[in-house]
Each structure stands twice: as structure tokens, then as C-alpha cells.
Amino acid sequence: QEQLVESGGGLVQPGGSLRLSCAAPGFTSELYAIGWFRQAPGKEREGVSSISLRDNSTYYRDSVKGRFTISRDNRNNTVHLQMNNLKPEDTAVYYCATDPCGIHAMGLIGTTCVDHWGEGTLVTVSS
């Protein structure tokens, strides 16, 4: 079943934390990277972080390095994004996605290679 299901969004104060999860039971091929994109109102969708199913290597956009951590739960075929020290500029709809072009594709070519999307989960950072 090729479906991505996100969970974990919500409202949090600046400096707070959230953990997003992406259930991806139909995606086990090592050809894939699974990652998170986000889209704020009036802005283009941008890549946030991704992880390789082949070797667990990771990619992060500069603005989230040191604050976000992506990980895999192989037993449950789930990818998590732990987001700490959240800032108002992190407010967006976060989308899980599969990318057969590798972990760096989102930073180089954006959404071009993505072949499956989740429906998205809203993260709001506000006091």
C-alpha cells in the first residue's frame, strides 16, 4: 500500500518542541529517501530534512540544523522528525514525501523528483 500518513502537528509556543511522524508501510526499497517538506502561506514548498533508506544518511536545510532531527523506526516503517527550539518562521504545513533521487535532491532540485506525498500536518509556532 503506497500511502504516507503524517501525524504530530499542532500549536506550540516559540522554543517548544513537536515530533512529527510519517507512516510509510509501502516504502521499504533502499532506492528511496523519505523526507519532510513544508509550505508556509504565500511561499513555495521547501525541503526540510530527509533520510536514506539505504544507509540512514541524512540531509537538513541550513535553517533547521541543530534543531531538527530525522530518524527511522524500521520495525514500524515510520520516519520521525523531532523539532526542538521551534521558531515562528517554522510555521507551515509539513508534508512527508518519498524521493527516489536521494537525500540531497530536495536541496538541489526541490520537489522535482518526489513521487508520493502525504496529506500534510499543520505546525503553528506562536505565543
pLDDT at 108 (0 to 100) = 87
pLDDT value at position 1? Answer: 64
Tell me, rounded to whole angstroms, the distance of Cα 54 from its chain centroid: 17
How far apart (Å, rounded) are the C-alpha atoms in residues 19 and 33?
19
10 Cβ neighbours under 8 A, 6+ residues apart? 18, 122, 123, 124
Question: Residue 2: is its pLDDT beyond 80?
Answer: no
- Residue 81 has a CB neighbour count (10 Å cut-off) of 26
pLDDT, residue 61, reads 96
Does 73 score more than 80 pLDDT?
yes
Examine the pLDDT at 82 and tell me if it is beyond 90: yes
> How many Å apart are CA 126 and CA 104, to the nearest integer?
30
**pLDDT number for residue 83:** 98
